[in-house]
Amino acid sequence: MVTVEQRTDTGQILKWSNGTWLQHNADKAIEELVIDTRKIAQPSQALFIALKSSRRDGHSFIKDAYEKGVRNFLVSVELDTAPFPDANFILVKDTLVALQQLVGARRKQFKIPVIGITGSNGKTIVKEWLYQLLNESYNTVRSPKSYNSQIGVPLSVWLMKPQHKLAIFEAGISQPGEMEHLGGIIRPDIGVFTNIGEAHSEGFLNTRQKINEKLMLFRYASQLVYCKDYPELNECVVQFMHQLKGAGGNHLSLFTWSQKVEADLQIKHIVKDGNKANIEALWKDEQLTITIPFTDPASIENAIHCWCVMLLMGIPHDVISTRMMALHPVSMRLELRQGINDSTIINDSYNSDLTSLLIALDYLEQQKQHRQHTVILSDMLQIARADADLYEEVAEHISRRNIQRFIGIGPSLYKNRLSFKKNKKLRSVFFKSTDDFLKKFHLITFDSEAILLKGARVFTFEKIATLLEQKVHQTVLSINLSSLTHNLNVFRSKLKPGVKTMAMVKAFSYGSGSYEIANLLQYSGVDYLSVAYTDEGVSLRKAGITMPIMVMSPDATSFDRMIAWKLEPEIFSTQSLRAFTAMAQTLQVQGYPVHIKLDTGMHRLGFMAHDIEPLVKELELNPYVKVASIFSHLAASEDPAEDAFTAGQAAAFDQMSKQITDHLPYKPMLHLCNSSGIVRHPALHYDMVRLGLGLYGVESSKTMQKQLRQVSTLKTIIAQIKDIPVGDTVGYGRKAVATSEMRTATISIGYADGYPRSLGNSKAHVLIHGKPAKVIGVVCMDMCMVDITHIPEAREGDEVIVFSPELPITQLAEWAGTIPYELMTGVSQRVKRVYENEI
Ligand SMILES: *Cc1c(COP(=O)(O)O)cnc(C)c1O
């Protein structure tokens, strides 16, 4: 057996990646691969890999990484290394290829079983469930989150360490040719092909091509688990097996299951019993049954795949059935909620292991709105690892981050508390059980801090969550931050390199939130934020937002606060310029950044053509301000019928801005486009664009709507259900009459929540159990009534969808005779916001 080197050093990396030294100091041990300078845990032992994508060039972050302490770099550009004298630089042709090669070479040193999973759906669930099922028997490493891409796979496989006894990785592809690379990196011994569906088929000619491509993952495998009930999959697998044999490749044996035909594991009956499913099957002439705490078809399929793998690995049946019963849902998102005393709660109380803890700690780190960060962690129940060693590592991760308080719950953490106590800057307390903690809860203060709650299920942290979370009004606006990032990237992909992005977060980020959204935008590297009023800007600053912020409607009485908080005013008249200059002079600041707004036809705020000459005169002699940008706003960028008008605005903008810049000794940025301008007028992007509505997943010109994801979902509940006799009426003014017997639901949303009265009287519907229910009669202040005669399964307390990606806000706007902007910004502040982040 080959032993695995404990240490991987730069010399080995050079060999594995087929690189050459661009600069060589002493060889250093490498523990961590980093592609994002915002996520460096151990800089001195990290290798920064400068990846190039269409949006970003990692080489431009080398200085940042170096300043954070990184001394080892993998690059594909012969850059000047003089500013980094004590660093190692390895030069390769393509950094992504090199990353894949070096991880593939390192992988070959490990002799433990590796499970590789691919397929259209269920990859992440099967991976997480196999982890739940097998980690008790084998110390297991797995892909974090759904890291299954060309970059995610090598980063996952790199996590293999000598102490691991089993590895589980997933692989996903979007184009032909990709799986070949991933197969060479993962080199699974046991393969799982979950299923084949329509997802992500764009890059492929047909289903067979897609299957054959995915099968490339299993080129070196000896076992393959799959379901025979997908006929095309079955045929392709058999062919693949023969091809391997014919080519003198390895022998692939199949482990099949089926509900229809003969198979290794033949499913006989699936009986649903309340919220459980009993699955009965025949295996080697033996009758076996498992019970899982799920009843939906996807969960059943995923569980059967796991069952096959466990049988294949020789796990005894009684162990399988006990663990199957304990399967728990895989939380694919981290939820951010408002907590008591102005705190923020990240609730991740489903599982607890090192990989998922690190993901959650990263997310905690991003909560810049609070200076104070607290972690509440339960014992991690990693049987396969010595406690002392595990908690030593956890304590190290905690101490490397901006965390001031640690609360450990469980006997093992209690026993190993000294690992945490030796960090003098960390306040740490320990409890032997969740109940002990709950008894002392009233003695502990939680105030204006971000709190990560992370506990294994047996520790029932939901009890703690109930105490920490602010009670939620039954109407909730839930905002999907991952969708927001997706939308941002869709718009960024439309910009030429170098064009900057200003994100509009005015009006409480179009109703979606303040620092929660701004934090994410800052983290995503947006260049500027823009708010309407000084107060909005001040609250962002107080919440730790440090990036430039433009204020569009500053009033002269707040100029001192703007300067104090480094907010940059829009200047739209000579008068406002004079007032601001006077304040700058009083406060003795010079060269303060301001933004000149030109009126090119919108006729809202801004300098008109005849104002430019006096403006230039004022600016020329003015040392107190510096024009950071000149901009204007398009009145009808979304409308093709107005393109001539838009062109006229652009021409006026060119002329007026030139008149100003000709007289300035420096070059201000120019910007003109809003969301629909970005989409429809690529020639008018100038130096920066101002992205508003599009960020939240709505696009007025409708040309890009399909690529975007609606960010917000407004939900409420059924407060009461009533049977209405024929002839009775419902609501104020008796506007709705029951012409036949009718069942109504009174739902907890009204015009005071932002559900407009214009949606009443059957104009709109909501969704209950996925079915449309018409709003009948008049919308009241806090409630309205919907017709649920055709939804007999509806119960009091059930969820009601008011708008969501399935019932788009654009549809509601159409019903209400308004625009999405008005509905989005109109959701009342009394409606609680909840933030979701897919992981
Ligand atoms: C609101 C606003 C935007 C953003 O407009 P969207 O249509 O939401 O993209 C851009 N510029 C200015 C001046 C704005 O007021």
* Candidate CATH numbers 3.40.1190.20, 3.40.50.720, 3.40.1390.10, 2.40.110.10; the one for domain 10-96: 3.40.1390.10
Residues 638 and 603: their CA atoms lie apart, in Å, by 18
333-470 maps to which CATH number?
3.90.190.20
Ligand 1 touching residue 502 (CB < 6 A): no
Ligand 1 in contact with 632 (CB < 6 A)? no
Q: For ligand 1, say whether the CB of 694 is within 6 Å of any of its atoms.
A: yes
For residues 192 and 125, give the distance between their C-alpha atoms in angstroms, rounded to a whole number.
12
690 Cβ below 6 A of ligand 1? yes
Report the atom number in ligand 1 closest to the C-alpha of 502. 10
Going by alpha carbons, the residue nearest to atom 6 of ligand 1 is 692
Whether 188 is in the pocket of ligand 1, judged by its Cβ within 6 Å, is no
Instruction: Give pLDDT, residue 199.
Output: 55
Query: What's the gap in Å between 535 CA and the centre of ligand 1?
Result: 19
To test the ligand 1 pocket, which listed residue (487, 490, 501, 504) has its Cβ within 8 A of the most ligand atoms? 504
Q: Does the beta carbon of 693 sit less than 6 angstroms from any atom of ligand 1?
A: yes
Q: Is 675 in the pocket of ligand 1 (CB under 6 A)?
A: yes
User: For residue 162, which amino acid is it?
Assistant: P
Task: Enumerate residues 6+ apart whose C-beta is below 8 A from 348.
Answer: 331, 334, 335, 356, 360, 452, 453, 454
Taking the centre of ligand 1 as the mean of its atom positions, its distance from the CA of residue 808, in whole angstroms, is 21
Ligand 1 center from residue 572 Cα (angstroms): 16
Which atom of ligand 1 approaches the CA of 821 most closely? 8
Residue nearest to atom 4 of ligand 1 (CA): 692
| Span from the CA of 525 to the centroid of ligand 1 (angstroms) | 19
Give Cα 743 to chain centroid, integer Å: 40
Atom of ligand 1 nearest to the CA of 510: 8
Report CA(646)–ligand 1 centroid distance (Å): 15
Distance CA 709, CA 485 (A): 10
Which uninterrupted H or E stretch holds 721? strand 712-724
CB of 518 sitting under 6 A from ligand 1: no
Task: Output the CA angle 169-490-680, nearest 5 degrees.
Answer: 160
Q: What distance in angstroms lies between residue 829's CA and the mean position of ligand 1's atoms?
A: 22
Per DSSP, the three-state class of 89 is strand
Which residue, by CA, sits nearest to atom 10 of ligand 1? 674
Q: 793-808, pLDDT tens digit by residue?
A: 999 989 999 999 999 9
Q: Which atom of ligand 1 is nearest to the CA of 694?
A: 9
Q: Would you state the structure tokens that stand for residue 547, as one six-digit string? A: 């990036």
Q: What is the pLDDT of residue 2?
A: 41
Cβ 345 under 6 angstroms from ligand 1? no
Q: How far is the CA of 719 from the centre of ligand 1 (A)?
A: 38
**Amino acid 384: pLDDT:** 63
Cα-to-centroid distance, 475 and ligand 1 (Å): 28
Residue 631 CA, closest ligand 1 atom number: 13
Q: Which residue has the tokens 């961590």?
A: 32
User: Is 692 a pocket residue for ligand 1 (Cβ < 6 Å)?
Assistant: yes
Return the ligand 1 atom nearest residue 637 CA: 7
Q: Is the CB of 511 under 6 A from ligand 1?
A: no
- Using 50 as the pLDDT threshold, list the residues of the chain that sit under it: 1-3
Give residue 142's pLDDT.
Answer: 94
Question: What is the topology classification, in CATH, of domain 110-325?
Answer: UDP-N-acetylmuramoyl-L-alanine:D-glutamate ligase (3.40.1190)
CA of 713 to the centre of ligand 1 (A): 22
Find the distance separating the first CA and the last CA of the chain, reported in whole Å. Answer: 37
Residue boundaries of the structural domains of the chain: 10-96, 110-325, 333-470, 497-705, 712-838
Query: Which ligand 1 atom is at minimum distance from the Cα of 638?
Result: 7
In Å, how far are 209, 320, 590 from 292, measured between CA atoms? 34, 11, 69
431 closest CA partner among 379, 358, 391, 354? 379
CB under 8 Å to 97, separation ≥6 — which residues?
Answer: none
Q: Distance from the CA of 673 to the center of ligand 1, in angstroms?
A: 8
Q: Which of 502, 528, 530 to mutate to test ligand 1, by most ligand atoms within 8 A of the CB atom?
A: 530
Sign of CA dihedral 702, 708, 709, 710: negative
- 485 close to 520: Cβ distance less than 8 angstroms: yes
- For the Cβ of 412 lying below 6 angstroms from any atom of ligand 1, the answer is no
Distances 576 to 554, 556, 595, 614, 615 between C-alpha atoms, Å: 9, 7, 12, 13, 11
Determine the residue of 633, 704, 809 to mutate for testing ligand 1's pocket, defined as the one with the most ligand atoms within 8 A of the Cβ atom. 633
Q: Does residue 634 sit in helix, strand or coil?
A: coil
C-alpha span between 814 and 18 (Å, rounded): 59
> 504 in ligand 1 pocket by Cβ < 6 Å?
yes
Ligand 1 centroid to Cα of residue 600, in Å, is 15
Pairing of strands 729-730, 736-737: antiparallel
Domain 712-838 in this protein, CATH class: mainly beta
Q: Is 680 in the pocket of ligand 1 (CB under 6 A)?
A: no
CA 265 to chain centre: 38
Structure tokens at 467: 């105490």
For 727-749, write each residue's pLDDT tens digit: 999 999 999 999 999 999 999 99
Under 8 Å CB-to-CB from 585, ≥6 apart: which residues? 624
Contact present, 55 and 494 (Cβ < 8 Å): no
Q: Which ligand 1 atom sits nearest the alpha carbon of residue 690? A: 10
pLDDT of residue 425: 92
Q: β-strands 32-34, 784-787: how paired? A: unpaired
Ligand 1 pocket residue status of 824, Cβ below 6 Å: no
Residue 43 one-letter amino acid: P
Spatial contact of 40 and 20, defined as CB atoms under 8 Å apart: no
Residue located nearest, by CA, to atom 13 of ligand 1: 633
CB 782 within 8 A of CB 750: yes
Q: Tell me, using a 6 A CB cutoff, whether residue 633 lines ligand 1.
A: yes
Atom 12, ligand 1: which residue's CA is nearest? 633
Q: Specify whether the CB–CB gap between 49 and 95 falls below 8 A.
A: yes
Domain 497-705 has CATH 3.40.50.720: no
Please state the atom number of ligand 1 nearest to the C-alpha of residue 695.
Answer: 9
What are the catalytic residues? 506, 732
pLDDT confidence of residue 374: 97
Pair 678, 685: CB distance under 8 Å = yes
- pLDDT for 5 equals 52
Q: 821 with 510: CB under 8 angstroms?
A: yes
Going by C-alpha positions, the residue among 675, 697, 700 that lies closest to residue 685 is: 675
Ligand 1 centroid to Cα of residue 193, in Å, is 47
How many angstroms does the Cα of residue 674 sit away from the middle of ligand 1? Answer: 5
Atom of ligand 1 nearest to the CA of 506: 1
> Of 576, 623, 614, whose CA–CA distance to 595 is shortest?
576
Instruction: Evaluate: CB of 479 within 6 angstroms of ligand 1.
Output: no
